[in-house]
Structure 1
Amino acid sequence: MTLWNDVMARSALKRVFDAAVRSASPYDAVLKHLPEKPKGRCIVVGAGKASAAMAAALDAAWPDVELSGTVVTRYGHAVPAGRIEILEASHPVPDDNSLKAAEKILETVRDLRPDDLVIALISGGGSALMVAPAGHMTLADKQAVNRALLASGATISEMNAVRKHLSRIKGGRLAQAAYPARVVSLLISDVPGDNPSEIASGPTVPDPTTCAMVSEIVERYAIELPDSVRDVLANGEETPKPGAFETHVSVIAAPKLALEAAAEEAGLLGLTPLILGDSIEGEARDVGTVMAGIATSVSVHGYPVRGPAMLLSGGETTVSIAKGCNGRGGRNTEFLLSLALALKGQENVWALAGDSDGIDGVEDAAGAIVMPDTLSRMQSAGMDPRASLSNHDSYTAFRAIGDLVVTGPTLTNVNDIRAILIG
Structure 2
Amino acid sequence: MFPIERIRADFPILQRTVHGKPLVYFDNAATSQTPQMVIDAIVEYYSKYNANIHRGVHTLSQEATDKYEEARLKIQKHLNAAKAYEIIFTAGTTHGINMVASGFSELLKSGDEVIVSALEHHSNIVPWQMLCQKTGGVLKVIPMLDNGTLDMDAYENLVTSKTKLVFCNHVSNALGTINPIKKLIAKAHAVGAAVLIDGAQAAPHIKPDMQDLDADFYVLSAHKICGPTGVGVLYGKEAWLQKLPPYQGGGEMIETVTFEKTTYAGLPHKFEAGTPNICGGIAFGAALDYMNAIGFDAIAAYEHELLAYGTEKLQEIEGLRIYGTADKTAVISFNIEGIHPYDIGAILDKLGVAVRTGHHCAQPIMAFYNIPGTVRASFAFYNTKAEIDVLVAAVKKAQMMLS
TM-score by length of 2: 0.38
TM-score by length of 1: 0.37
> Structure with the greater relative contact order (CA < 8 A, sep ≥ 6): 1 or 2?
2
